[in-house]
Amino acid sequence: MSAPNPAADTAAPATDPELPDPGAADADSLVEDADAGTDADGPGDDLLVREGDVAGDYLERLLDILDVDGDIDLDVEGDRASVAVVGGQLDDLVGSDGAVLEALQELTRLAVAQSTGVRSRLMLDIGGYRAKRRADLTTLAAETAGRVSQSRQPERMAPMNPFERKVVHDVVAGVAGVHSESEGEEPNRRVVVLPDR
């Protein structure tokens, strides 16, 4: 017979039969789902808000380094975070045909992905450039779709970045009798508007 082990007598048992499983009627039980803290709009909204916050912090530091005045506006549009830099002289941050803006958007997305561990689809606008470009493209796409609908001849548009092509595709999708496709390789990828058969 082995000697009693005093440490074993004081150790807590693996399961305690005196503690009942918490039920919905218990005052201390968890009634809500664990992710009930998310907004009613969807479980991903918290992540999108966090993406916007990280992007805002990143861009504020960048503006400080560049000694550029600008305010940061954060929003969630649909299924992506949206960040806008407004005010001040921001033309240098937009660049020719939005080239610098596109580069800054990619850098901001990388900073967000590094912080959150999730690939970001964040949209960045600087000085209202994207908002104006969206309005111009909406008009251009509607005019092009109208011409193709009448002539029944396809039209190729100028090369565009993914944001611009999506604007055009969305507009063309709302016009009866035509559809759109993308063709080519970046940076020369473009939208083709075609008549339906």
What DSSP character marks residue 17? T
Question: 120 and 82: one domain?
Answer: yes
Last residue of a domain, one of 103, 127, 151: 127
Of 28-32, 86-90, 174-178, the one with minimum mean pLDDT is 28-32
- Using alpha carbons, list the distances in angstroms from residue 81 to 78, 84, 120, 124, 134: 8, 10, 8, 9, 17
Question: 151 and 103: one domain?
Answer: no
Band of pLDDT at residue 192, cut at 50, 70 and 90: very high
The verdict on residue 143 lying in a domain is yes
The verdict on residue 123 lying in a domain is yes
Average pLDDT of every residue of the chain? 83
Alpha carbon distance, N-terminus to C-terminus of the chain? 93
Average confidence (pLDDT) over 110-129: 95
Question: 140 and 154: one domain?
Answer: yes
CA distance 91 to 192: 30
The count of domains in the chain is 2
More confident residue, 186 or 34: 186
The verdict on residue 177 lying in a domain is yes
CA distance 52 to 193: 34
Question: 59 and 75: one domain?
Answer: yes
Residue pLDDT, tens place only, 45-67: 789 999 999 999 999 999 999 99
Average confidence (pLDDT) over 5-15: 45
Question: 142 and 180: one domain?
Answer: yes
CA distance 124 to 100: 11
The verdict on residue 35 lying in a domain is no
Nearest Cα residue to 120 out of 130, 131, 98, 105: 105
Nearest Cα residue to 180 out of 133, 148, 132: 148
Question: 55 and 121: one domain?
Answer: yes
Q: Which domain holds residue 56?
A: 45-127
Angle at 89 between CA 83 and CA 90, to 5 degrees: 40
